[in-house]
Structure 1
Amino acid sequence: MSSFIENFNLFMFILFAFMYLYQIIYMFIAFKEKRKQRQVNHNQHKNRFAVLIAARNEEVVIGQLIKSIKKQNYPKELVDIFVVADNCTDKTAMIAEREGAIVRERFNKEQVGKGYALDFMIKFIENEYAHKQYDGYLVLDADNLLDKNYIAEMNKTFNEGYRVITSYRNSKNFDHNWISAGYGLWFLHEAEYLNLPRMTLKNSCAISGTGFLVKAEIFKENGGWIHHLLTEDIEFSVSQIIKGEKIGYCRNAVLYDEQPVTFKQSWHQRLRWAKGFYQVFSNYGKSLISGVLFNKGNRFSCYDMAMTVMPAMLITCFSIAVNSSFYLAGIFGIIDGKEIIPVTTFAILKSFCWYFGILFILGLITTITEWKRIHSSNWKKILYTFTFPLFMVTYIPIAIVALFKKVEWKPIAHTVAKSIDDVLDNVKN
């Protein structure tokens, strides 16, 4: 029986390594690409953009976002800001309007979620502002802040022919605690060690929650925003990739957003993400697999997205379940405990150490290479490199619970009312 467990764990390790080897290759590609300076023609057409912000009780932060948009090094007459105050009970609408946004309120307790709010505003723009003929829609969250060159940089990549573009996602409260830093470090890794090599290899990138630009014709083709699963961002990415779309990445367009700082908030948010990933795989898994087999233009991108939305957590959960079952069987005397308990205990500890070690290396590499772009004191950057694996390991119980628990969308309170200047000044030694 002990040999079965040993062989099982070896097989699971080999399977996991085989499935995700490409992400190690991604890192080497990123190292090489990060040394280069992309050559872009600076004498470019200036496109007209509508900024879409879905906000629910965001009176604390919405004003600073709009101010950072107003400060862009981009022609102001080519950027209009639209805010949908979605089921708000505070002063979000009033503050957004005062800061110069075009605001509409939406009250619907049945259709709850960011996707419904975006669809509401897209249809409003198409009906009331069709004469503006927007080239693209920039989707932001109310807690975001934009670097002053954000829209100008996104416009450059837009002019390269990409119809969907994601950006560099930084954090405005990285230094708060190990939870906010865990989020921040993962989003930096996702930007530079997943999306950058994808862009380099001409594969499709993936949008991540906020800070993305969509060509107006895509929403017309889709009939608005039609994605309403718990993770509407990854659903949108997967659906477009299946259609053959190549999502681009603009690493010079820097966005800052606020991360949760309590474990309770983080648990609820990541539980929704985990459940949403399961939903996406359930709804689109067959099409992704079909894309891997038959979509010559986007075959690898389909594989990449299939690995992104499901297998890692399922393999981990399955491995834990099998080892735990044998461990409990040994304790209760169903099988020989003297033999199986030490073997399964060692296997679980070894798996944990491997998982922890790999995550530490990922966090360390990201911290070192993005050091100057992380807005925190140096000692906190070092400290949170060590806590990053712990943050990521907490995904395991979350993923297990998400398999069985009914999950609904819940808003996350945002309270960091920093300006973009406050964030950029927060680099201490």
Structure 2
Amino acid sequence: MAVAAVTGDHRRGKTALFLAACGCAGAAPHWLDPIRSLLPALTLALVLGGYGLRTVLRARGPAGGADAASAGATQALDAWPSVDVVVGARDEEAVVARLVERLAALRYPAEKLTFWVVDDGSQDRTGAILDALKAEHPQLRVLHRPRGAGGGKSGALNAVLQQLRGDWLLVLDADAQLQEDVLERVLPYAVRGGWAAVQLRKAVVNAGQSLLTRVQAMEMALDALIQQGRLLGGGVMELRGNGQLLRRLNLEACGGFNEHTVTDDLDLSFRLLTEGSRIGLLWDPPVQEEAVETVPALWKQRQRWAEGGLQRFFDYWPQLLSNRLSPSQRRDLACFFLLQYALPVVSFADAVTSAATRTVPVYWPLSIVAFSVSGLAYWRGCRRPSEGPELPQPDLLSLLTAIAYLGHWFVVIPWVSVRMAVFPKRLVWAKTSHRGEATADA
């Protein structure tokens, strides 16, 4: 039975309960004696640190289980399935022409491939550029939506979903750059692997521009490595929006894209999961994209990611705790939730209580373990053989800088949690700006 897209009712109340629980967990140990006050942190450090270490060490190289690119899974199929490439574009005049040219260069049977670009109320020249490109590219289809059509990126994707006839759809962002053979490699992997969806590893094209873009490139390698480790351990693999290949029938069976969430990819990951659909990861070839170039842009982007990440847990927690998921999947989700979302809020409450009571913080063992495992994930991820843009070398200074950079989540997660608990949500498409070859600020 399909899981309907959740509308997000009672998210404020659920977030308030989450904040209260994390606040109590962070403050309560301060009223214990100094020895016993460390027991919660030491216990969690042992459990969650063991989970994280196993996850990072479990991820293997290109010949390993979840990425069978060199094991024969990407050899040509006898019959190629039909594919629709779908892009939602709003105010993307700087990159949309390059995107269409890259799509036209893909090696795949022309009669099996169609490009769909949804001009979602653009106020720049995006729509005009797309209309002009249709004359040059017969495979290109353009759909124009008015600015206030609603539903954000999910609404744009749903607007074209009912017109698709392909067996698979590849969802891209407007700044995506692909290798010419990506479809020839990912489709056999998806079909032979029995996956309902496959996420391409995300690689940053402007890593050499600044320290900020460099650490984001390292973060993408860390994320892909951890995702692969979770998958190989029987855990949960998640989609990342740009570069996600979806089997159309599975997507339609779980209700399409949810227009009541700010991160359609994370929400869809959980709906596919609860339907028993499997999501795979392909390390190579990657989908290439731009990292944000300024701290304000990063702050805006990470707030949206944090809010969408919390929303999916609050929206689908009954299904996540049910027997629809295997015990290993439930364990993986519990550990991931505690590390990614609960730890930053608990640490913030710990720090505030420490300042108020003039006592020593008690959750430092867990934080040290979490950052240490992240450093190992950076090191392993950036040292793996990788196609696409060259990954930054994980020397000591780069690792320390990247680990420090992860500290921004300890600010973003608590702030977003408070905001979600206090203010009603207005769903808007808070897109990341792309500049491509343009000289305008990102």
> Is the pair's TM-score, using the shorter chain for normalization, greater than 0.5?
yes
CA gap 1:41/1:371 in 2 versus in 1, 3 angstroms: closer
CA gap 1:134/1:329 in 2 versus in 1, 3 angstroms: same
CA contact (8 A) 1:56 1:92 kept: yes
CA gap 1:5/1:322 in 2 versus in 1, 3 angstroms: farther
- 1:114 counterpart = 2:153: yes
Which residue number in structure 2 is paired with residue 180 of structure 1? 213
CA gap 1:354/1:29 in 2 versus in 1, 3 angstroms: closer
CA distance in 2, matches of 1:355, 1:184: 20
CA distance in 1, matches of 2:369, 2:93: 44
- Identify the match of residue 105 of structure 1 among 112, 121, 144: 144
- 1:48 counterpart = 2:63: no
**SS in structure 2 at match of 1:181:** helix
1:324-360 CA distances to partner (integer Å, 9 max, x unpaired)?
Answer: 2133223xxxxxxxxx3xx33xx57666655544433
Which residue number in structure 2 is paired with residue 92 of structure 1? 126
- 1:76 counterpart = 2:104: no
- 1:404 counterpart = 2:413: no
CA contact (8 A) 2:75 2:185 kept: no
- 1:392 counterpart = 2:392: no
CA distance in 1, matches of 2:125, 2:251: 30
- 1:8 counterpart = 2:37: yes
**SS in structure 1 at match of 2:284:** strand
CA gap 1:5/1:244 in 2 versus in 1, 3 angstroms: farther
CA distance in 2, matches of 1:325, 1:268: 28
Report how far residue 267 of structure 1 moved: 0.6
Report how far residue 186 of structure 1 moved: 1.9
Report how far residue 75 of structure 1 moved: 1.7
Q: TM-score w.r.t. structure 2 length?
A: 0.80
CA distance in 1, matches of 2:149, 2:180: 38
CA contact (8 A) 1:85 1:104 kept: yes
Superposition pairs of residues 15-414 of structure 1, within 5 angstroms: 15-19=44-48, 21-31=50-60, 34=63, 37-40=70-73, 42-44=75-77, 45-99=79-133, 100=137, 101-109=140-148, 111-123=150-162, 125-126=163-164, 133-160=165-192, 161-191=194-224, 193-200=225-232, 204-290=236-322, 294-295=323-324, 298-309=326-337, 311-330=339-358, 340=359, 343-344=360-361, 347=362, 353-370=368-385, 374-375=389-390, 384-405=398-419, 406=423, 409=428, 410-414=430-434
CA gap 1:39/1:235 in 2 versus in 1, 3 angstroms: same
CA distance in 2, matches of 1:52, 1:136: 10
CA contact (8 A) 1:359 1:388 kept: no
CA contact (8 A) 2:87 2:118 kept: yes
CA distance in 1, matches of 2:221, 2:231: 15
Which residue number in structure 1 is paired with residue 8 of structure 2? none
1:33-61 CA distances to partner (integer Å, 9 max, x unpaired)?
Answer: 65683223624121110011001101101
CA contact (8 A) 1:65 1:142 kept: yes
CA contact (8 A) 2:87 2:174 kept: yes
**SS in structure 2 at match of 1:213:** strand
Report how far residue 87 of structure 1 moved: 1.7
CA contact (8 A) 2:286 2:387 kept: no
What letter corresponds to residue 312 of structure 1 in structure 2?
Q
1:242-300 CA distances to partner (integer Å, 9 max, x unpaired)?
Answer: 1111111222332101111111111111111111112111111222122xxx236x442
CA gap 1:201/1:324 in 2 versus in 1, 3 angstroms: closer
CA distance in 2, matches of 1:382, 1:94: 48
CA contact (8 A) 1:87 1:109 kept: yes
CA contact (8 A) 2:89 2:117 kept: yes
Segments of structure 1 that go 5 or more residues without pairing to the other structure are 127-132, 331-339, 419-429
**SS in structure 2 at match of 1:82:** strand
Aligned length: 392
What letter corresponds to residue 365 of structure 1 in structure 2?
R
Report how far residue 227 of structure 1 moved: 4.9
Report how far residue 17 of structure 1 moved: 3.8
Report how far residue 177 of structure 1 moved: 1.9
CA distance in 1, matches of 2:371, 2:236: 29
CA contact (8 A) 2:76 2:184 kept: no
CA contact (8 A) 1:288 1:303 kept: no
Aligned sequence identity (%): 19
CA gap 1:314/1:70 in 2 versus in 1, 3 angstroms: same
CA contact (8 A) 1:281 1:306 kept: no
CA distance in 2, matches of 1:4, 1:287: 39
CA distance in 2, matches of 1:110, 1:348: 46
What letter corresponds to residue 96 of structure 2 in structure 1?
I
CA gap 1:12/1:34 in 2 versus in 1, 3 angstroms: farther
CA gap 1:212/1:321 in 2 versus in 1, 3 angstroms: same
1:96-117 CA distances to partner (integer Å, 9 max, x unpaired)?
Answer: 3433321111114262421111
CA gap 1:199/1:354 in 2 versus in 1, 3 angstroms: closer
1:86-140 CA distances to partner (integer Å, 9 max, x unpaired)?
Answer: 12001112223433321111114262421111111112x14xxxxxx41111100
CA contact (8 A) 1:277 1:309 kept: no
CA contact (8 A) 1:227 1:236 kept: no
Structure that is richer in helix per residue: 1
CA gap 1:256/1:43 in 2 versus in 1, 3 angstroms: closer
What letter corresponds to residue 390 of structure 2 in structure 1?
H
**Which stretch shows the higher mean deviation, 165-174 or 5-14?**
5-14
CA gap 1:387/1:370 in 2 versus in 1, 3 angstroms: farther
CA distance in 1, matches of 2:386, 2:397: 13
